[in-house]
Chain A
């Protein structure tokens, strides 16, 4: 699961001209560390929902990598 999420995030980063991110941690911030903007986060939510069938924003906005994993683990 983590590998797939990392792949989605890095696809978005590469499209933006950013290098691949390696050091994913629970506390990694989607906006500050991964530099994802609103359109990027929108894309990420759809890709995760397509892959895992879970809307990670269903119960409110999230801000860290760990929160994505938590949402998916709960489902």
Chain B
């Protein structure tokens, strides 16, 4: 029974069980570029009800101040029966009392730390019909909540996972055919990259779209190349996990959480009980303001579309970037006096991150040097792709930049 395919290396569920049973330690703050080790470490934490923090290989400098570097890759001893079976592991993971911590771009320039109860995340897992062979295409960064949800969904059903994250189009399409991927969850940017597409993938059963607002055109194109797939549009965030699911761009609030959802001036507000634990959210009467605006489609205000997502942040290909965080980092570079970071519309990634910089007198620095400086300070998706040098900004700066 296969567990994971990563760069054409195949790991079985037996490999996973052996890896869990043979090591009597796990790492709470684990950094690894090996996806199998990363997932195996998560399962070890969940199996032993231990806390775990999901980190990318590259830690943003703004995040490093929140993490004790001595804890990174430091092993903690745990007790696991060396003869444990995958089904025993699975049953224990389903009831795990672990908390999983994830970092996300904060609105204050400082990443937010959010801890989720595994039980809450697992409550979103759908259990497959046993006769149905499901293979997931993983198209998200492994340290993000969307990847965690795909991983838990696949693991809880002992399904096969094929890593598609940041693979070239030809490899993705090839794997979709040869590995018979049946389920994919990805951003609109990922799906847009598949076109033009010469094939029709009849074996694909489910397409989930998350992270950005998809266009009607994309729905049509996906329906064409995946004619037998149920297409889901997901509203999820690092703070809440999956909240709303729809088969088009119209959402309704599920009855079960209707008392925990409010709208004020068309902004979506979420009750704190739906959020993970957090360190710096501001609540208003127990509700969290998402900044996401909706448009109602009926007089009863039950059906709605998202008009815009969190106005402070820039959604670059499904990754939310806080411009103030990037500005703060840019302004630490020698010679950069002032920075303005913004997104411009782009047909490939929805938005493209750009920066205008005012350089101090006497300094001579170019775009390539700036980008190279940022490489060691920021995750790739937070690095502005177009940098312009300007003498002043064309707007009033009143404490906070107008965006």
Chain A residues near B (Cβ < 8 Å): 11, 14-15, 31-32, 35, 37-39, 41-43, 45-47, 50, 55, 57-58, 60-61, 63
B352 touches A42 (CB 8 A): yes
Which of the residues A32, A38, A47, A63 comes within 8 Å of B386, measured between beta carbons?
A47
Which of the residues B168, B352, B354, B372 comes within 8 Å of A37, measured between beta carbons?
B168
Report how far A37 CA is from B193 CA in the complex, Å.
Answer: 9
Which of the residues B189, B316, B372, B386 comes within 8 Å of A50, measured between beta carbons?
B386
Annotate B161-185 by CB proximity to A: 1 below 8 A, 0 otherwise.
Answer: 0000010111000000000000000
Smallest beta-carbon distance B155→chain A, Å:
27
Given contacts A32-B168, A61-B192, A61-B195, A45 and B380 within 8 Å (CB-CB): no
Report how far A44 CA is from B372 CA in the complex, Å.
Answer: 18
| Contact of B244 with A by CB under 8 A | no
Q: List 8 A-B contacts (CB under 8 A).
A: A15-B368, A31-B170, A38-B317, A39-B316, A46-B344, A46-B386, A61-B196, A61-B348
B352 touches A46 (CB 8 A): yes
Which of the residues A11, A42, A47, A50 comes within 8 Å of B348, measured between beta carbons?
A42
| Contact of B346 with A by CB under 8 A | yes
B166 touches A45 (CB 8 A): no
Please give, as numbers and ranges, the residues of chain A lying within 8 Å of B381 by CB-CB distance.
Answer: 39
Report how far A26 CA is from B364 CA in the complex, Å.
Answer: 37
Which of the residues B170, B349, B368 comes within 8 Å of A38, measured between beta carbons?
B349
| Contact of B119 with A by CB under 8 A | no
Report how far A59 CA is from B381 CA in the complex, Å.
Answer: 26
* A interface, over-half SS: helix
A31 touches B348 (CB 8 A): no
| Contact of B385 with A by CB under 8 A | yes
Report how far A43 CA is from B193 CA in the complex, Å.
Answer: 14
Smallest beta-carbon distance B195→chain A, Å:
6
Q: Which of B170, B347, B371, B380 has the most CB of A within 10 A?
A: B347
B347 touches A57 (CB 8 A): yes
Given contacts A11-B368, A15-B368, A50-B386, A42 and B346 within 8 Å (CB-CB): yes
Known: A14-B368, A38-B348, A45-B347. 12 other contacts (CB 8 A): A11-B368, A15-B368, A15-B371, A31-B168, A38-B192, A39-B385, A41-B348, A42-B346, A45-B348, A46-B354, A61-B192, A61-B195
Please give, as numbers and ranges, the residues of chain A lying within 8 Å of B368 by CB-CB distance.
Answer: 11, 14-15
Report how far A10 CA is from B368 CA in the complex, Å.
Answer: 12
A55 touches B347 (CB 8 A): yes
Q: Which of A45, A47, A50 has the most CB of B within 10 A?
A: A45
A42 touches B385 (CB 8 A): yes
Report how far A58 CA is from B190 CA in the complex, Å.
Answer: 19
Given contacts A38-B189, A39-B385, A61-B196, A46 and B347 within 8 Å (CB-CB): no
Report how far A37 CA is from B385 CA in the complex, Å.
Answer: 13
Please give, as numbers and ranges, the residues of chain B lying within 8 Å of A63 by CB-CB distance.
Answer: 196
Report how far A37 CA is from B317 CA in the complex, Å.
Answer: 11
Report how far A70 CA is from B195 CA in the complex, Å.
Answer: 19
Report how far A35 CA is from B171 CA in the complex, Å.
Answer: 12
Report how far A39 CA is from B381 CA in the complex, Å.
Answer: 8
Please give, as numbers and ranges, the residues of chain B lying within 8 Å of A61 by CB-CB distance.
Answer: 192, 195-196, 347-348
